[in-house]
């Protein structure tokens, strides 16, 4: 199946800039609180950053993998390996970005590694043009909707106070993580206390079809959606589940490409897709998926990987693109970090919206001293 052309097509002709220097820098930032999911509890963010230098300009991008393969198969070490040994050698100055994408396609999967380079090149191109990234992508600035992802809590009281804080801040929707045995009653507690809050749950693949009767009980709570109830690798069984549930299913882990999105939609496996730009291979693939979904009445939102200020800014710019119709997992910096490596921090305005950082490229400043302070590994690649 061919995916119709989208604003990404305009980017395909842009020339790959000449790179004077490329570094991978891994930083470790403590989270303000542990982030619990059905698959793992993370206590800090170990982010592999790419620094690209070209003609006196410096672009930073962020690989959204974790050090572990509990959410996704890629890890910081596999991404480093794929970037260093397979992808970076394919980067040739002057070839069109579309040609580079074709070269990258020979490497199967490893979208997070690909996105790190492709996003870095797009940010560099935006800097060269003196334009904000969203403008290079082809979209005007707008206020970005906010959304909070609340991890598994030890007690319902802890969960209720997290939701209360989110509501007070004005977040446009609240997502709560669920897992087997920590679901119906916890959702009920939130619903009883906050009958109107736009609410959704994310199971990170913890259930199977044999839990159908149990999952159907979630239909009572007016949820916006249930994210990835079944296996990370499944599409088909989600289509069977969607037929049996009122609540919209949203796929996250299952969607790696425009073809996966097309399959999921054709099968009726979901009504909503979470596009994480890293998981699908970068900004251009994200725009293609969002554009494809928009033509088919499927809502899309930008997921997050509790990124540092670099990846967070990438997600913010991406959400100006056509098709991003729902609030994403885009929260204030302070939800994860006391001090981030980039300024300014993301904050919500009085209406719960996020302003796109101003200036060329990402519009954020990466603070060198903070990188040096937090770096646990630094490798020059070229």
Site for Mg ion in 188-247 (CB under 5 A): 202, 227
Structure tokens at 172: 């446009």
Pick one of 26, 146, 204, 308: the residue that binds ligand OSB (CB under 6 A): 204
With respect to ligand OSB, which residue has the nearer C-beta, 6 or 333? 333
How would you label 15-41 residue by residue, b for 16+ Cβ within 10 Å and e otherwise?
Answer: ebbebeebbbbbbebebeeebbbbbee
CB of 93 to ligand OSB, least distance (A): 33
Residue 286 interacting with ligand OSB (CB under 6 A): no
C-alpha to C-alpha distance for 341 and 371, rounded to whole angstroms = 6
Residue with nearest beta carbon to Mg ion: 252
| Residue 307 sits in the site that holds Mg ion (CB under 5 A) | no
Binding mask 238-267 for ligand OSB (x = CB under 6 A): --------------x---------------
**β-pair partners for 132:** 361
308 CB contacts (<8 Å, ≥6 apart)?
27, 29, 45, 47, 49, 62, 337, 340, 341, 342
Confirm if 136 and 110 have CB atoms less than 8 A apart.
no
**What is the rounded distance in angstroms from the CA atom of residue 241 to the CA atom of residue 318?**
30
Q: Tokens representing 222?
A: 């007016």
- Contact track, Mg ion, 123-162, x by CB under 5 A: ----------------------------------------
Cβ 128 to ligand OSB shortest distance, Å? 29
CB of 157 to ligand OSB, least distance (A): 22
Q: Are 207 and 215 in contact (CB under 8 A)?
A: yes
Give the residue, chosen from 252, 299, 306, 307, that forms a contact with Mg ion under the rule CB under 5 A.
252
Cα–Cα dist 59/324, whole Å: 25
Catalytic status, residue 135: no
CB of 179 to Mg ion, least distance (A): 12
Catalytic residue selected from 45, 175, 177, 179: 177
Residue 188 has which token pair? 């009920």
Query: Shortest Cβ distance from residue 369 to ligand OSB (Å)?
Result: 25
Rule CB under 6 A: choose which of 61, 76, 149, 239 binds ligand OSB: 149
Q: Contact with ligand OSB (CB under 6 A): which of 101, 206, 285, 306?
A: 306
Burial class (CB in 10 A: 0-12, 13-18, 19+), 338: exposed
Q: Which stretch binds ligand OSB (CB under 6 A): 26-34, 90-98, 229-237, 302-310?
A: 302-310
271, two tokens = 């009504």
Q: Which is nearer to ligand OSB, 13 or 170 (CB)?
A: 170
Query: CA angle at residue 89 from 85 to 90, to 5 degrees?
Result: 120
User: Does the protein bind ligand OSB through residue 333 (CB under 6 A)?
Assistant: no
Give how far the C-alpha of residue 237 lies from the chain's centroid of Cα atoms, to the nearest Å: 24
Chain contacts with ligand OSB (rule: CB under 6 A):
71, 149, 202, 204, 252, 303-306, 329, 331
Catalytic residues: 177, 276
């Amino acid at each position: 199946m061919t995916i119709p052309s989208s604003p990404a097509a305009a980017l395909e002709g842009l020339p790959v800039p000449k790179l004077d220097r490329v570094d991978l820098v891994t930083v470790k930032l403590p989270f303000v609180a542990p982030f619990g999911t059905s698959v793992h509890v993370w206590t800090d963010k170990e982010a592999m950053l790419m620094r690209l230098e070209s003609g006196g300009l410096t672009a930073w991008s962020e690989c959204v993998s974790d050090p572990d393969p509990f959410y996704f198969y890629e890890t910081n070490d596999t991404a480093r390996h794929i970037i260093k040994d397979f992808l970076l050698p394919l980067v040739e100055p002057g070839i069109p970005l579309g040609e580079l994408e074709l070269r990258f396609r020979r490497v199967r999967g490893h979208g997070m590694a690909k996105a790190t380079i492709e996003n870095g090149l797009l940010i560099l191109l935006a800097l060269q043009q003196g334009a904000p990234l969203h403008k290079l992508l082809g979209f005007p600035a707008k206020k970005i909707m906010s959304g909070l992802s609340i991890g598994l809590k030890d007690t319902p009281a802890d969960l209720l106070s997290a939701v209360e804080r989110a509501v007070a801040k004005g977040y446009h929707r609240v997502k709560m993580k669920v897992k087997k045995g920590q679901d119906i009653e916890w959702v009920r507690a939130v619903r009883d206390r906050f009958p109107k809050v736009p609410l959704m749950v994310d199971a990170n693949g913890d259930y199977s079809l044999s839990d159908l009767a149990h999952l159907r009980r979630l239909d009572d709570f007016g949820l916006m959606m249930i994210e990835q109830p079944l296996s990370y690798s499944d599409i088909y069984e989600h289509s069977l589940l969607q037929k049996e549930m009122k609540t919209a299913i949203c796929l996250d882990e299952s969607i790696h490409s425009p073809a996966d999105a097309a399959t999921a939609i054709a099968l009726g496996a979901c009504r909503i897709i979470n596009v994480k730009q890293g998981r699908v291979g970068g900004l251009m693939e994200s725009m293609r998926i969002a554009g494809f979904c928009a033509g088919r009445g499927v809502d899309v939102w930008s997921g997050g990987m509790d990124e540092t200020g670099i990846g967070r800014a990438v997600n913010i710019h991406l959400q100006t693109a056509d098709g991003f119709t729902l609030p994403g997992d885009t929260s204030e910096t302070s939800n994860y970090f006391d001090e981030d490596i980039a300024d300014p921090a993301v904050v919500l305005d009085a209406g719960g919206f996020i302003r796109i950082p101003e200036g060329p490229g990402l519009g954020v400043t990466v603070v060198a001293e903070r990188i040096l302070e937090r770096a646990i590994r630094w490798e020059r690649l070229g």
